[in-house]
Amino acid sequence: MRRFCSSAAVHEEPITPPVEVKYNQLLINGQFVDAASGKTFPTFDPRTGEAITNVAEADTEDVNRAVSAARNAFDEGPWPKMTAYERSCIMLRFACLLEKHSDELAALETWDNGKPYEQAANEEIPMLIRLFRYYAGWADKIHGLTAPADTLHHVQTLHEPIGVAGQIIPWNFPLLMFAWKVGPALTCGNTVVLKPAEQTPLSALYVSKLFHEVGIPPGVLNVIPGSGKAGSTETGKAVLGAAAKSNLKPVTLELGGKSPFIICEDADIDKAVELAHSAVFYNQGQCCCAGSRTFVHERVYDEFVEKSKARALKRVVGDPFKKGVEQGPQIDTEQFEKILKYIKSGTESGATLESGGEKLGSKGFYVQPTVFSNVQDNMLIAKDEIFGPVQSLLKFKDVEEVIRRANSSHYGLAAGVFTQNLDAANTISRALRVGTVWVNCFNIFDAAIPFGGYKMSGHGREKGVYSLSNYLQVKAIVTPLKNPAWL
């Protein structure tokens, strides 16, 4: 039955992107080169499923070339030997150049990923620039300490770069994830080998070329597109296992989530509905921290369901280059089919389909904004990370119950709480076993706010001062003191 249709504009001819693909090779040692094997792979336009261009596909030989270039740049090159101020200046020049190319970057991100252009241009590109300015500011503020000793010795600590950082970024926020990883690694004096997601390699290649234009030395930043998934918990396990079996490389992991969004009985329902809607449907629902488990107090549940349904039906789905579009296509066929299977599972398990539930259009990977009510904790749509525009509405009676149920997940990335009661906000936010709790807000990603998970959502933190520790080693230096005037 096709009773629940969102506002859609997916039957029109796709808008021609206002940008050209300039870079589709591997970037190794400051040069764009073909893969050693000569192999390429297509990257697709999610609006149509058609190829945008073919991109060089790295394999083992190319990885070794990139690592060798990065190692040589660290051991023999100028980057780690520069003053921190000089590194900071290069990163600031890079941020300025990003501003000059912001329209092209937003268009390229939309074309390769499917996210709304207005989202990319007005939110993500400015944050990309802010992140690099933020990390540029940290470069000359990283320092060790002196510590008192019980004996006649001078003790100092140094914070040293770890060397070569291998980085894997996902496809849902390609440029922001580039900044989350590359920014702190470079500001600490490391060199980088970066693998962008195979679905979205174009923007990482573009901005890396810009980085070289402002003076980053060859070999410091290498980009090697290729096959392989990123972001999932299973991928994280594989990476961690490989690191342990090789040479015990330190690993940080920012993985999946199934974030609870808790609506208390005193909430302003209209505001809560809009915030909960944004929490799950933002970026086509392709957010690791999406508030996809919406817990609503039983006294306001029925009203919340009706208003959430109405909001989902008003959501504008269509060509992401079109003004006013809120939701573009999903990233690819695999994700598209996965979402539809979870929607089918929801209906088969007894949840009530309030809106959406089907694909939109005859081509591309568009999915209707979908809302389920009467969702139970044991249903797959309430347990698994769907990574799509699917909202599950669950009913709860009291604070103790919702805390227990919210924590009953192997994920622990983020959560939201909506209430006018400060005591309730404090009680719930401290009890939730997650890395971030947003109170009366959601998806706030300031450059200084650390982000990362508990449990199977990973370990280590991105952004903020805490991210620097991922890329530094601490060395203690102890020297004797002869007849010191003081200790």
**Largest Cα–Cα distance in the chain?**
89
CA distance 464 to 175: 17
SS3 content of the chain, % helix, strand, coil (to 5): 40, 20, 40
198, 254, 326, 354: the catalytic one is 254
d(CA 330, CA 361): 13
SS3 assignment, position 278: helix
Quote the distance between the C-alpha of residue 245 and its chain's center: 27
What is the DSSP secondary structure assignment for residue 462, as one 8-state letter?
B
140's tokens: 């000359």
The rounded distance, in Å, linking the Cα atoms of 461 and 190 is: 18
Please measure the distance between the N-terminal and C-terminal CA atoms of the chain and give it in whole angstroms.
81
According to DSSP, residue 226 is labeled -
Nearest CA to 320 out of 4, 8, 6, 5 is that of 8
What does the alpha-carbon distance between residue 17 and residue 322 come to, in Å, rounded to a whole number? 10
What is the Cα–Cα distance from 259 to 414, expressed in whole angstroms? 5
Pairing type for strands 458-459 and 253-254 reads antiparallel
Distance (Å, whole) CA 440 – CA 431: 17
Instruction: Tell me whether residue 306 is one of the annotated catalytic residues.
Output: no
Give catalytic residues, as residue numbers.
Answer: 254
